[in-house]
C-alpha cells in the first residue's frame, strides 16, 4: 500500500476523475489509514511504499505490478501522468529480493490482472480494452508460467478489470457481466458457473474493487447489495468508507497490491 499524502485529482484519465471536484487529502489519508488498519486487524501484513510528490495516483498501488508465486511482472502505464510510478514499484520488489520481469508491453498490473490459483489448475484473468494491451497478456503468461484468459472490457466506466471482477477465494470470482463483451461473458460463465454476479448498482458503487482472503471480503461501504450477496454466499463482508479515493477512480483493491509469494 502507498499513503495518499500527495493524492489529488489534477488530470482526468478515467470517467470518474473530475478536476473541478475538490479532494480532501486529510480525509483521504484517514480513510486509507482505516483500510490499512482493517487489513492488519484481519491478520494480514502490510508493506508500505513511500509516496512521491508529483505522482498523485501512487495510492493506487495495485497498478504497479502483478505478482504470482514470488515472480513479479512489472507495469508499463498507458498514460504519461502515471509512467514514473513503475520505477518506484520496480525498486520496491527488487529490494524484497523477488524475481522481477520488466515489461515490454503496456499493462497496469493488478488493475487488469487477477489470479485464481485453484481454478482449472491456476488461471490468470486479464482485462483489455482501455489500459492494458492484448500483447501484454501473452507477455504475462511467459513471465509467470500460468495460462492467461483474455477478457474484453467494453464500458469506459469499468476501465480496469479490477473495477469489474475480483477473485473471492482460490477458485471463484465475483463480477459485473455488463462490463464485458458478450463473448467474454460466455467465457466467464463457462469458467465460473458458480460465480457471484453483481448488478449495475454494485459496480457503480465500486463494490467489485475489493480484496478477499477467502473468508473476509473487504469492500466499499456503498456496495450494500453486493455485501448482502456475498454474505448469502458464505463470505464475511467487511465494509470500508473510501469516498475521497473514489474521486480518482479507485477503491479498496486499487489501494492494495497483493504479494503472492
Out of 160, 236, 255, 261, the active site residue is 160
The answer to whether residue 160 is catalytic is yes
Which is it for the CA torsion 139, 144, 148, 150, positive or negative?
Answer: negative
What is the C-alpha separation between 40 and 18, in angstroms, rounded? 32
Residue 233 grid cell: 454466499
Residue 68 φ/ψ, nearest 5 degrees? -135, 125
Q: Count H helices and E strands in the chain, helices first.
A: 7, 12
Out of 89, 254, 255, 261, the active site residue is 254
Grid-cell match 482449472, residue found: 120
What is the C-alpha separation between 247 and 42, in angstroms, rounded? 26
The answer to whether residue 254 is catalytic is yes
Q: Where are the beta strands (DSSP E) in 135-224?
A: 148-152, 165-167, 173-175, 196-197, 211-212, 216-220
- What separation in angstroms does the CA of 200 have from each of 140, 155, 182, 186? 30, 12, 16, 18
What is the Rg, in whole angstroms, of the alpha carbon atoms belonging to the chain?
A: 17
Mind telling me the catalytic residues?
160, 254
Amino acid at each position: 500500500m502507498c499513503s495518499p499524502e500527495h493524492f489529488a485529482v489534477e488530470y482526468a484519465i478515467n470517467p470518474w476523475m473530475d478536476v473541478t471536484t475538490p479532494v480532501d487529502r486529510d480525509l483521504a489519508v484517514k480513510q486509507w489509514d482505516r483500510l490499512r488498519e482493517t487489513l492488519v486487524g484481519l491478520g494480514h501484513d502490510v508493506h508500505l511504499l513511500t509516496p512521491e510528490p508529483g505522482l498523485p495516483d501512487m495510492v493506487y498501488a495495485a497498478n504497479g505490478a502483478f505478482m504470482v508465486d514470488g515472480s513479479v511482472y512489472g507495469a508499463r502505464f498507458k498514460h504519461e501522468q502515471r509512467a514514473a510510478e513503475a520505477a518506484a514499484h520496480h525498486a520496491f520488489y527488487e529490494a524484497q529480493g523477488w524475481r522481477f520481469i520488466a515489461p515490454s508491453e503496456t499493462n497496469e498490473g493488478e488493475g487488469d490482472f487477477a489470479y485464481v490459483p485453484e481454478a482449472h489448475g491456476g488461471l490468470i484473468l486479464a482485462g483489455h480494452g482501455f489500459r492494458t494491451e492484448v500483447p501484454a497478456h501473452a507477455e504475462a503468461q511467459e513471465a509467470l508460467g500460468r495460462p492467461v484468459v483474455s477478457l474484453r472490457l467494453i464500458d469506459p466506466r469499468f476501465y480496469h478489470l479490477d473495477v469489474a471482477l475480483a477473485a473471492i477465494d482460490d477458485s471463484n470470482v465475483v463480477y459485473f457481466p455488463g462490463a464485458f463483451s458478450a463473448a467474454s461473458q460466455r467465457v466467464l460463465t463457462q469458467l465460473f458457473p458458480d460465480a457471484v454476479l453483481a448488478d449495475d448498482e454494485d459496480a457503480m458503487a465500486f463494490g467489485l474493487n475489493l480484496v478477499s482472503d477467502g473468508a473476509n471480503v473487504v469492500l466499499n461501504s456503498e456496495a450494500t447489495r453486493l455485501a448482502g450477496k456475498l454474505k448469502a454466499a458464505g463470505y464475511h463482508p467487511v465494509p470500508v468508507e473510501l469516498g475521497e479515493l473514489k474521486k480518482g477512480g479507485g477503491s479498496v483493491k486499487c489501494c492494495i497490491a497483493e504479494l503472492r509469494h
